[in-house]
Amino acid sequence: MSPDDGTVAGTGEFALIDAVTAGRRQPAATLLGPGDDAAVLAAPDGRVVASTDVLVHGVHFRLDWSSPEQVGRKAAAVNLADIAAMGAHPTSLLVGIACPPDTPTEVITELAKGMWAEAERAGIGVSGGDMVRADQLVVSVTALGDLGGRAPVTRSGARPGDVVAVCGNLGWAAAGLAVLGRGFRSPVGVVNAQRCPEPPYAAGPQAADAGATSMIDVSDGLLADLGHLAKSSGVGIDIRSADLDVAPRLVEVGTALGADPLRWVLTGGEDHALAATFPPFGDPPEGWRAIGAVTIAESGVTVDGKPYEHESGWEHWR
């Protein structure tokens, strides 16, 4: 392929790397950024929190539904939300991109632009990564974080009597997926929730400072992810449906599509809200909404005291 054909093969690996890294600012925690064999990052806490997610074209995103920039933002966001769910502040991203040789160079540069934009929203940078040839577009992101002296908030600390609370949107991304699946592109606010989630990064450390006993990123659905938390903690969880925030816009979309918006809130993934448990005395931190309680029974997650009759969320290979 010719050097000027507009594809990644024509651009070349190293010129493409330069295109997505040149002129980008790094935070103080990045002591050595892209360009060497490895990045060098400061770890003031003495511990590093790390999480990796892989996004595959046709499974986690579609370029006929989302722009490359939105895909980049989403790829960064889903990883950074995991860092927040541990009670940590994000510090850096490492990115791996695999794609066919005829992929337009602009797809990769715009994807990188979205990653940098989301990293900047979290106050960090992209410190390094890799690019390789593959049969389809795959984006792998590793997020790193710093606990700032806190103990990590895991899934295993919930105790009977604790308050269950959430921070962030629920159901919006699922509604957006339903809209896109019907061939529509509006309402834009709902569709963009699927294309580009906005996790509440600061809420993770906030919850940790407020004494959260357990926490999880809601990526696969509220009931599914609370089920993981309940299993790890050896407890049950009961959700009060009346305390869930079913936004009027979700009701409108549900009515138009003949769908139950409460089901989106309970089982829809990819909003990347945070769910946590807090000691029973006192209210959850500002911005958090109490939606249920931790119970003694090891019966998983119930809604209004009863087992939920539908699937609880997303699971790969099912």
Output the CA angle 298-303-307, nearest 5 degrees. 60
Q: What is the pLDDT of residue 317?
A: 35
- Per the annotation, does 310 bind a ligand? no
CA 206 to chain centre: 17
- Per the annotation, does 209 bind a ligand? no
- Per the annotation, does 217 bind a ligand? yes
- Per the annotation, does 314 bind a ligand? yes
- For residues 133 and 95, is the Cβ–Cβ distance under 8 A? no
- Per the annotation, does 67 bind a ligand? no
Domain ranges of the chain: 8-146, 163-307
**Residue 199, CA distances (Å) to 190, 202, 271 in order:** 15, 9, 7
Q: What is the pLDDT of residue 166?
A: 98
pLDDT digits (tens, 9 = 90+) for 49-102: 999 999 999 988 999 999 999 999 999 999 999 999 999 999 999 999 999 999
Write out the CATH class of domain 163-307: alpha beta
- Per the annotation, does 53 bind a ligand? yes
Whether the full predicted model's pTM is greater than 0.85, yes or no, is yes
Q: What is the pLDDT of residue 259?
A: 95
Question: 3-state class of 104 per DSSP?
Answer: strand
pLDDT digits (tens, 9 = 90+) for 279-307: 998 899 999 999 999 999 777 899 999 99
pLDDT digits (tens, 9 = 90+) for 174-210: 999 999 999 999 999 999 999 999 999 999 999 999 9
What residues does 50 pair with on adjacent strands? Answer: 144
pLDDT level of residue 116 (50, 70, 90 thresholds): very high
- Per the annotation, does 283 bind a ligand? no
- Per the annotation, does 60 bind a ligand? yes
Write down the architecture of domain 8-146 according to CATH.
2-Layer Sandwich (3.30)
The share of the chain scoring above pLDDT 70, in percent, equals 97
The share of the chain scoring above pLDDT 90, in percent, equals 80
Domains 8-146 and 163-307 in one fold: no
CA 164 to chain centre: 20
Helix, strand and coil content of the chain, in percent to the nearest 5, comes to 35, 25, 40
Q: What is the pLDDT of residue 1?
A: 44
- Per the annotation, does 243 bind a ligand? no
Start-to-end CA span in the chain (Å)? 40
- Per the annotation, does 288 bind a ligand? no
- Per the annotation, does 316 bind a ligand? no
- Per the annotation, does 91 bind a ligand? no
Query: Strands 236-239 and 301-303, how do they pair?
Result: parallel
